[in-house]
Amino acid sequence: MKLGIIGLPQSGKTTIFNALTRGNAPTNASAGRFEVHQAVVDVPDPRVDLLSKMFNPRKTVYAKIAYADIAGLDSGSAKSGISGQLLNLLNQMDALILVVRAFDNDNVAHPNGSVNPLRDAEAMSGELLLNDLIVVERKLERLTEERKKGGTDKTLNARQTELFEKLYRTLSANQPLRDLELNAEEEKELASFGLLTRKRLLTVFNLGEGQSAPEANLDHPSAALMGKLEMDIVQLPDEDAAMFMEEYGIQELSLNRMINLSYELLRELTFFTVGEDEVRAWVTRRGATAQEAAGEIHTDLSRGFVRAEVVAYADLIELGSINEAKAKGKFRLEGKEYIVQEGDIMHVRSSL
């Protein structure tokens, strides 16, 4: 799972990246220069902590999420066409985080001349939408040319024309494509087109110290974070960070909430494997079968799948042990078509 962090120059993208990843990437890169920083972080999950206390394993592994800090996206870039290098990188992301500047700093010029977070959020969302509209228009033009020339697959042309006209109507109404209902065939058809508004989007308002979040009426989730302050705190030794937070009356950093929002944005679910050797959180898509989820652990488990032994997280915590869950009938045997639920604890039996 990888999320791309984008935004205008001087919005604090790298500051947010450093805060989220406890990194120290340079925050003074030249505006407009194409540059990428990447890091992987643990997804905080108190369920993993409780399971680890219960089983006392030799190893505890949290779900992971990757962030990529992507410089190079500027206001107006879609009008001339987002560069192939940048577009290729954005296409690799599972979702996007749009960092919007809300802080004032006379030493850091805003590329649009003034700080106006709602204006910038709308403008950058508009850039993504305009990019998609250009892509869709060009595809419709090619489909029209193919029909005029003849000799093409008429059924395929008609199907693609219908699909891209639907996309065009949505984008022309200033609506992103992420909430447009598409069937499996249409999803497959669009996989290679790099339509950015099909990706889930989280807008993060980068606040100054003590600043309140702006009221935003967006068509997607948003959050607020004092990026510079939280970056400074996470780069301190743990003891110094605790003292700093106590001095400033900070009960909890926003970073864990931000990481969990990022994770929720991807619309995945978490299941667990437990034992004396390891307690681990695994990620699979919502609606995945037990056999598909087994493949997240190891492909051999999917190929040789026999059954899954399953207990719900809440039941295990309430009853206190696997043996008690079995005694109370909460430990179930499920076949390959079982739909995995959020928080399931699974043990997969395989013939391989």
Convert 129-163 into a string of H (helix), E (strand) and C (coil). HHHHHHHHHHHHHHHHHHHHHCCCCHHHHHHHHHH
Shortest CA distance to 19 belongs to which of 208, 200, 256, 202? Answer: 256
Task: Tell me the backbone φ, ψ of residue 55, rounded to 5 degrees.
Answer: -100, -15
**31, 9 Cβ separation under 8 angstroms:** yes
CA separation (Å) from 139 to 58, 143, 165, 245? Answer: 54, 6, 10, 53
**Does the pLDDT at position 27 exceed 80?**
no
Residue 330 lies in a domain: yes
Other C-beta atoms within 10 Å of 189: how many?
Answer: 16
Task: Tell me the backbone φ, ψ of residue 243, rounded to 5 degrees.
Answer: -65, -40
Q: What is the mean pLDDT of residues 222-242?
A: 89
Task: Tell me the backbone φ, ψ of residue 200, rounded to 5 degrees.
Answer: -65, 145
Residue 166 lies in a domain: no
**Does the pLDDT at position 133 exceed 60?**
yes
What is the reported pLDDT for 136? 96
The total of structural domains in the chain comes to 1
**72: which 2 tokens?**
């190079």
Residue 32 lies in a domain: no
Domain housing 311? 287-350
**339, 288 Cβ separation under 8 angstroms:** yes
Residue 47 lies in a domain: no
Task: Tell me the backbone φ, ψ of residue 186, rounded to 5 degrees.
Answer: -70, -40
Which tens digits make up the pLDDT trace of 137-194?
999 999 999 988 877 788 899 999 999 999 999 999 999 999 899 998 999 999 888 8
Residue 173 lies in a domain: no
Residue 153 burial (C-beta neighbours within 10 Å; 0-12, 13-18, 19+): exposed
Higher pLDDT, 217 or 240: 240
Which tens digits make up the pLDDT trace of 293-321?
999 999 999 999 999 999 999 999 999 99
Shortest CA distance to 132 belongs to which of 186, 76, 170? Answer: 170
281: three-class secondary structure by DSSP: strand
Convert 5-57 into a string of H (helix), E (strand) and C (coil). EEECCCCCHHHHHHHHHCCCCCCCCCCCCCCEEEEEEECCCHHHHHHHHHHCC
Residue 114 lies in a domain: no
CATH number, residue 307: 3.10.20.30
Task: Tell me the backbone φ, ψ of residue 29, rounded to 5 degrees.
Answer: -65, 150
Residue 128 lies in a domain: no
Residue 327 lies in a domain: yes
Break the chain down into helix, strand, coil percent, rounded to 5.
40, 20, 35
